Structure 1
Amino acid sequence: MIVEALSSELNLKKEIVENVIEMLNEGATVPFIARYRKERTGGLSDEVLRNFYERLIYLTNLQERKAAVIKSIEEQGKLTLELKEAIDNAKTQAEVEDLYRPYKQKKRTRATIAVEKGLESLADILYSGDFKADVRLKAAEFINEEKGVNSEEEAIQGALDIIAEKISDNAEHRKWIRDFVYKNGIVETTGDSDEPTTYEMYYDYKEEVKKMPPHRILAINRGEKDKVISIKVVSDEEKIITYLNNRELKNNTVTDGYVMEAIRDSLKRLIYPSIEREIRSTLTEKGEEGAIKIFKENLKALLMQAPIKGKTVLGFDPGFRTGCKIAVLDETGKILDTHTAYVTSKGKEGLQEEKAKLKELILKHDVDVISLGNGTASRESEEIIAELLKEVKNEIGKEIYYVIVNEAGASVYSASELASKEYPDINVSIRGAISIGRRMQDPMAELVKIDPKSIGVGQYQHDVTPKKLDESLKGVVEDSVNNVGVDLNTATPSLLSYVSGINSTIAQNIVDYRNENGKFSSRKEILKVKRLGPKAYEQCAGFLRVPESKELLDNTSVHPESYDATKKLLELLGYTIDQVNERRIQDIDSKVKEKTIEKLSEGLGIGVPTLLDIIKELKKPGRDPREDMPKPILKSGVIELSDLKPGMVLKGTVRNVADFGAFVDIGVHQDGLVHKSEMRNSFVKHPLDVVKVGDIIDVKILEVDEKRRRIALSMKFGE
């Protein structure tokens, strides 16, 4: 059933679904399957495979729950073929629990107490619709002072409690009411506070359940958690009552009035509170999924930002009282110098002294770029840096630029155990400057050291279930790292641990081996690493690069299992490895076309998708896919908020994307917001359809609110 469900949901052939499940069960990773098993998956992307894996886990858990429910009902001797079929065909956990509800062991309720008092028979009489006599006379037969039934009224009330619970336990009723409330319900929020809060718009707010966007769901949840607002889900109670009456009443003038009373009680006391909780849970799940989706997209874009290579960088971690921490790094990220500059906390004379020290540092190490963190004192530091760089240009004629870098998570990393291992002899405060500098040199290599939740490119990420967020973000980092590839001889344990087939223990073993034996001379050599066996080698080899290897293919994404086929291909096309190394095979496409890809595939014994990947790699061996991404904007001057005027057009970098729009760094300390309605002349469903983190875009100033430090931007021009 799982195969059929995945095939239907993801619109995949059953054979492909079976192949993917088989490979996952054998221990293959998503990056490996996506990159090196395209023939078996039909070329599914890592993103689709991640969704596949998540749904597979859900459906597997659902199947296990169904089996447990069926076994429990069977042990009670109450399992019918019809019930078993209904459970087997249930599509969601909620449907399974609805069907199980009447058979689930309950805590003592008003209904179970009434059953203990011997009132179940009276309930059956009233509920059947066949009774035509005097109800009160019949109820009198159930008076039993020993059992606590002292009057006809108490007997009838107990019977109605039993009927109310039976109605509440009806799976069909619950499904209909749940769907009705979701489609027609209204979320109402109320609040009252004399103090200004971020939740003011929700003090008297209403919105349709089905239309509520993810960010608003998480916002009201947080407001409720902070005890600032109250939330309830309201719906048309009379329509639900009408639905229940039509299905529960038996056209019996004697008993229908009693059953109607039980229906209203059941809805108000049992069904609706439960359904409201389920709707809230469904909304929260929707909110979390939306937040996770945005965080994943933003994180991927951040990780895949183009590195700035071959530059000596000065990492600048701004601060006030304790000074600005400085770390100078060579083009490989090696620390050349460190310093603490008190440029934001001294008077005019002291500032000149501090600037002179900075200038000396820049000239001594021939710094090319300054990487400035965007945290506290960033704006004040930026002004001083801009002045300093002008002076340097005037004195030596060299143009030095600076880049504003998102420093989120730098302090978390600085105090981490990992940072202590990397820089045991360097002060915690300086480690942040090193991280800020390296983030510009190679964003991915540095950001993988930090818990993704701390990177600060999400939307309400702290309101999302931690386990769910962690698993999703780990998948993004894995896919990004494996997409780029990792230099086996320079990678840190943090980076290596995200490579397909390599866990944190093996990653550390690789580095230990490298430290003891020197650089790896080939991919095969990693088989000598402790605990790295043939299966791990199969999974990781294609994602590791060894520039020092005599085997050129060791520095490409061609998997070792395809080396023989690759060399045979070059021979068939009349090329040598040296020509590949010197990038002198640019006419390869015409030669392949001449022989046809299908005949080459058949002759080499490899699939067409794999062959196409090999050809693409041979054209640019060892190419970093991040080279195609936009480079960060290099700045040399400062723009003040007061300089901005409506109508101005500026270039900016997208820093974060949310459901409602994108935050853009336009060169002032405060990011501006492009609301999604200002992204295109046509309707924009979601900002991620238009922009992603790291994009360089042109924006027009719409409005500047200096008091609230808000900048409204537009991407629409010519209107």
Structure 2
Amino acid sequence: METETLTLIKQALPAYKSHQIDVTLDLLNDHNTVPFIARYRKEMTGNLDEVEIREIQDEANRISKLQQRKQEVLNQISEQEKLTPKLSAAIKAATQMQQVEDLYLPYKQKRRTKATIAKDAGLYPLAQWVLQFKRDPIEPVAKRYINDQVPDISSVLEGVNEILAEAIGERAEFREWVRRYTQRNGILTSKLKRNGQQKDEDQVYKIYYDFQSALKKLSPYQTLAINRGEKASVLTVKINVDEPAIDRYLKFQLIGRHQGPSVTIVEAAYQDAYKRFIGPAIERELRRSLTETAQTHAIQVFGNNLYHLLMQAPLKNHVVMGFDPAYRTGCKLAIMDGNGKYLAKQVIYPHKPASATKRQQAMPAFIKLLNDYQVDMIAIGNGTASRESEQFVADAIKQVDRDVRYTIVNEAGASVYSASAVARAEFPDFNVEERSAVSIGRRLQDPLAELVKIDPKSIGVGQYQHDVPESGLDEQLARVIETAVNQVGVDLNRASIELLEHISGLSKQTASNIVAYREENGSFNSRPELKKVPRLGPKAYEQSVGFLRIVNGKNVLDNTDIHPESYPIAKRVLTHLGLKLNQVGTPAVAAALENSDANTLSDQLGVGKETLQDILKSLQQPGRDRRDEMPAPILRTDVLQMSDLKPGMKLEGTVRNVVDFGVFVDIGVKQDGLVHVSHLSKSYVSSPANVASVGDIVTVWVLEVDEQRHRIQLSMVAPND
């Protein structure tokens, strides 16, 4: 990487040490993945996490694009033989793309304008004369420029105005000043468009019918909502600013203390330049900037919610029934064993419009399934007929002489999975609804393993995700999935292709090859056996192997997140502690470490402290799953109805979505309740994401219930507080 580019990256990232940026970029350029660097190169980077590594990566990409654009602009201006040392220095010193574009604007090839026509008519020297502010009268001088193209003084002066207005409008320093002034002082307003209310029958945009906000205070979700209302022809949107202040600035810069007949011409020209060129361009830029900022924020909200959804605690070693509710077509049931293996399926008809006979048969058939397969957990989808199905399940488990519980599972995206090629390959003989029942049940057993099979945009944990660029959203969600999958690690002998392809260093093809090798040769017994997989080369092996676990393999270390390159260190640690390999994961390791200090041990063994700490954790708990530390889903045995809710009632619930204005909480009724940002805490909350995450189990109090509008207002602050 060029020295100048590297210098700009470091200037843009003052929070990082110079060597951290150097090492991180070197590692990335050597085709190391972000999860691999974050986990296994901590000493080299100074213990940077994945977010920090990606920040360096993104800034490096931005600066590289900026440098490339600078060179393109320099070359194009140079070809016109108009590149001066001062202009070259200004372009090279630019730190933002907009600065480069402002400097390039006067030299940009453009269509024929009124100003270029005036110049072709020979009026450019007169425009230059006007800017000298001589005391001579204008008319006698202007008469000399009359010709066939400009037949009178009025035409001449109009042409001069066009030349001056375009030149003023293209001055980079003027645009930058107006841009900054408008950013600081501009007011965005939205009004109901004529006949707009007819297009907004449900009054979705009512709060924006007469709305205004300072640009610097406008919330991202407000920006996206206003944009949507404008696109729907419901709203008209404008940025207002103190134009007299801008007028005073331009007058000071262009006229200053000059007097004489030229003043009136220059004054008209800069006012025309602002009205036609600078003002509209800056308004478009700022609207675009607001939108890009809001879109970036919405993508981050979606990514943050998706991460916490994927990292929800799995429900291990339970026989689970997936219950996909429906009325006319019946409720689809699918049973999976403790490892997620499909066991049985059935369709029952407990709800109208099914016949009375079918409804009577539903209960005994359901209870028989529970008993035959010893089901102890039921995952009910939250779609159509969910409310009635929950009541049916609650009534059924009261008749079972075992501890059986249920929970409501967000089934968003289950239909997308069910119709996908992945689902058809996995269950070719199932119909779509039966595959949905499997997906719903497995979401409870292992949310991460199941949700990676679904397009994340279909999962429904975002905010205005349909208003953001798909490419940016896809990139962010891919990063989130990669982070989650690699932080958890996967069982090499059970993981699906869809899960494996997100592992560091693996592609869809190598993931497919791993599964094919496993099916042909049986389970992997050791990590080195991965090297036999076709097209899985040394680099892919190095990047992926630490995130792939082998349970009950030849080497107990293969079931840890210790990288094989560190096995010699792990064995030295065990020897130092007086332990053997077969004692890994036993209480003996924790007992031996009670009298050991990590810093001292690091010095004694000559091992980096960060790597040593990770090794010690893995030796104590091989196969550990960080999701086990997350809150478990709330399991229920009885139904709560909206009519049961009373103001002041205290409940436990699960956070289903986090947006800018609050969080939505599942409290066991069909409709999620909203905790507005103002009710999240006793103190001020700048962002709901600072207080709650998807999957959190929270205590809430009912504030208000509107059964007619299906709205529940909740608070996370106790009434007495």
**TM-score between both structures, scaled by the size of structure 2:** 0.96
Equivalent residue number for residue 306 of structure 2: 299
Give the C-alpha shift of residue 51 in structure 1: 2.0
Q: Does the 8 Å CA contact 2:122/2:145 hold for their aligned counterparts? A: yes
Q: What CA distance in whole angstroms lies between the structure 1 residues aligned with 2:356 and 2:186?
A: 63
**Deviations 1:216-266, CA, capped at 9 Å, x for gaps:** 111111111222212111111111111111101151321011011011111
1:247-326 alignment, distance < 5 Å: 247-250=253-256, 251-326=258-333
Give the C-alpha shift of residue 499 in structure 1: 0.3
SS of equivalent to 1:272: helix
Tell me which amino acid in the other structure corresponds to 2:226: I
Give the C-alpha shift of residue 175 in structure 1: 0.9
Q: What CA distance in whole angstroms lies between the structure 2 residues aligned with 1:134 and 1:93?
A: 43
1:104-119 alignment, distance < 5 Å: 104-119=108-123
Equivalent residue number for residue 246 of structure 2: 240
State the number of aligned residues.
709
Equivalent residue number for residue 597 of structure 1: 599
1:668-679 alignment, distance < 5 Å: 668-679=669-680
Q: 2:135 aligns with which of 115, 132, 136?
A: 132
Q: Does the 8 Å CA contact 2:189/2:237 hold for their aligned counterparts? A: yes
1:368 aligns with 2:376: yes
Q: What CA distance in whole angstroms lies between the structure 1 residues aligned with 2:25 and 2:33?
A: 11
Give the C-alpha shift of residue 19 in structure 1: 0.4
Q: What CA distance in whole angstroms lies between the structure 2 residues aligned with 1:418 and 1:143?
A: 76
Tell me which amino acid in the other structure corresponds to 2:291: T
State the identity %.
48
**Deviations 1:288-313, CA, capped at 9 Å, x for gaps:** 12111111111110000000011111
Give the C-alpha shift of residue 347 in structure 1: 5.4
Q: What CA distance in whole angstroms lies between the structure 2 residues aligned with 1:325 and 1:184?
A: 58
More divergent stretch after superposition (248-257 vs 548-557): 248-257
1:391-470 alignment, distance < 5 Å: 391-392=399-400, 397-470=401-474
Q: Does the 8 Å CA contact 1:101/1:169 hold for their aligned counterparts? A: yes
Give the C-alpha shift of residue 348 in structure 1: 5.1
Q: What CA distance in whole angstroms lies between the structure 2 residues aligned with 1:460 and 1:541?
A: 38
1:51 aligns with 2:55: yes
Q: 1:579 aligns with which of 583, 593, 607?
A: 583
Gap regions ≥5 residues in structure 1: none
Give the C-alpha shift of residue 323 in structure 1: 2.1
Q: What CA distance in whole angstroms lies between the structure 2 residues aligned with 1:221 and 1:347?
A: 49
Q: What CA distance in whole angstroms lies between the structure 1 residues aligned with 2:346 and 2:486?
A: 36
Give the C-alpha shift of residue 633 in structure 1: 0.2
Q: What CA distance in whole angstroms lies between the structure 2 residues aligned with 1:443 and 1:358?
A: 25
Q: What CA distance in whole angstroms lies between the structure 1 residues aligned with 2:102 and 2:26?
A: 33
Q: What CA distance in whole angstroms lies between the structure 2 residues aligned with 1:473 and 1:513?
A: 29
More divergent stretch after superposition (190-199 vs 252-261): 190-199
1:686 aligns with 2:687: yes
Tell me which amino acid in the other structure corresponds to 1:308: L
Q: What CA distance in whole angstroms lies between the structure 2 residues aligned with 1:349 and 1:421?
A: 36
Q: Does the 8 Å CA contact 1:583/1:620 hold for their aligned counterparts? A: no
SS of equivalent to 1:682: coil
Equivalent residue number for residue 397 of structure 2: 389
Q: 1:344 aligns with which of 312, 329, 351?
A: 351
SS of equivalent to 1:133: coil
Give the C-alpha shift of residue 401 in structure 1: 0.8
Q: What CA distance in whole angstroms lies between the structure 1 residues aligned with 2:464 and 2:439?
A: 25
Gap regions ≥5 residues in structure 2: none
Q: What CA distance in whole angstroms lies between the structure 2 residues aligned with 1:639 and 1:588?
A: 50
SS of equivalent to 1:711: strand
Q: Does the 8 Å CA contact 1:6/1:12 hold for their aligned counterparts? A: no
Q: Does the 8 Å CA contact 1:4/1:14 hold for their aligned counterparts? A: no
1:208 aligns with 2:197: no
Equivalent residue number for residue 707 of structure 1: 708
Q: Does the 8 Å CA contact 1:497/1:503 hold for their aligned counterparts? A: yes
Q: What CA distance in whole angstroms lies between the structure 2 residues aligned with 1:38 and 1:13?
A: 14
Q: Does the 8 Å CA contact 1:190/1:204 hold for their aligned counterparts? A: yes
Q: 2:223 aligns with which of 205, 211, 217?
A: 217
Equivalent residue number for residue 157 of structure 2: 156
Q: What CA distance in whole angstroms lies between the structure 2 residues aligned with 1:537 and 1:591?
A: 36
Equivalent residue number for residue 168 of structure 2: 167
Equivalent residue number for residue 233 of structure 2: 227
Q: Does the 8 Å CA contact 2:577/2:593 hold for their aligned counterparts? A: no
More divergent stretch after superposition (74-83 vs 18-27): 74-83
Q: What CA distance in whole angstroms lies between the structure 1 residues aligned with 2:37 and 2:639?
A: 48
More divergent stretch after superposition (446-455 vs 378-387): 378-387
Tell me which amino acid in the other structure corresponds to 2:66: L
1:60 aligns with 2:64: yes
**Deviations 1:618-666, CA, capped at 9 Å, x for gaps:** 1111100001000000011111111100010000000000011000001
Q: Does the 8 Å CA contact 2:586/2:620 hold for their aligned counterparts? A: no
Q: What CA distance in whole angstroms lies between the structure 1 residues aligned with 2:348 and 2:178?
A: 65
Q: Does the 8 Å CA contact 2:312/2:631 hold for their aligned counterparts? A: yes
Give the C-alpha shift of residue 4 in structure 1: 3.2
**Deviations 1:9-57, CA, capped at 9 Å, x for gaps:** 4311111101000111110000000000011111111112122222221
Equivalent residue number for residue 358 of structure 1: 366
Distance 1:592 1:82, change over 3 A: farther
SS of equivalent to 1:698: strand
Q: What CA distance in whole angstroms lies between the structure 1 residues aligned with 2:590 and 2:250?
A: 73
Q: What CA distance in whole angstroms lies between the structure 1 residues aligned with 2:378 and 2:132?
A: 82
Q: What CA distance in whole angstroms lies between the structure 2 residues aligned with 1:351 and 1:180?
A: 70
Q: What CA distance in whole angstroms lies between the structure 2 residues aligned with 1:457 and 1:8?
A: 36
**Deviations 1:650-696, CA, capped at 9 Å, x for gaps:** 00000000011000001110000111111111111111111100010
| Aligned-pair Cα RMSD in Å | 1.4
Equivalent residue number for residue 471 of structure 1: 475
Q: What CA distance in whole angstroms lies between the structure 1 residues aligned with 2:275 and 2:505?
A: 54
Give the C-alpha shift of residue 509 in structure 1: 0.7
SS of equivalent to 2:398: helix
Q: What CA distance in whole angstroms lies between the structure 1 residues aligned with 2:348 and 2:230?
A: 44
Q: What CA distance in whole angstroms lies between the structure 2 residues aligned with 1:108 and 1:387?
A: 78
Give the C-alpha shift of residue 588 in structure 1: 3.8
Equivalent residue number for residue 695 of structure 1: 696
Distance 1:128 1:319, change over 3 A: farther
More divergent stretch after superposition (460-469 vs 342-351): 342-351
More divergent stretch after superposition (305-314 vs 382-391): 382-391
**TM-score between both structures, scaled by the size of structure 1:** 0.97
Q: Does the 8 Å CA contact 2:448/2:485 hold for their aligned counterparts? A: yes
Give the C-alpha shift of residue 142 in structure 1: 1.5
Q: What CA distance in whole angstroms lies between the structure 1 residues aligned with 2:10 and 2:104?
A: 27
Tell me which amino acid in the other structure corresponds to 1:368: D
1:4 aligns with 2:7: yes
Q: 1:144 aligns with which of 147, 166, 176?
A: 147
**Deviations 1:421-461, CA, capped at 9 Å, x for gaps:** 22222212211111111000000000111111111100001
Q: Does the 8 Å CA contact 2:585/2:620 hold for their aligned counterparts? A: no
Tell me which amino acid in the other structure corresponds to 1:142: Y
Give the C-alpha shift of residue 355 in structure 1: 1.9
Q: Does the 8 Å CA contact 1:3/1:14 hold for their aligned counterparts? A: no
Tell me which amino acid in the other structure corresponds to 1:361: L
**Deviations 1:189-241, CA, capped at 9 Å, x for gaps:** 11231423211111111111111111111111111122221211111111111
Q: What CA distance in whole angstroms lies between the structure 1 residues aligned with 2:682 and 2:568?
A: 53
Tell me which amino acid in the other structure corresponds to 2:452: V
Give the C-alpha shift of residue 539 in structure 1: 0.5
SS of equivalent to 1:584: helix
Q: Does the 8 Å CA contact 1:448/1:477 hold for their aligned counterparts? A: yes
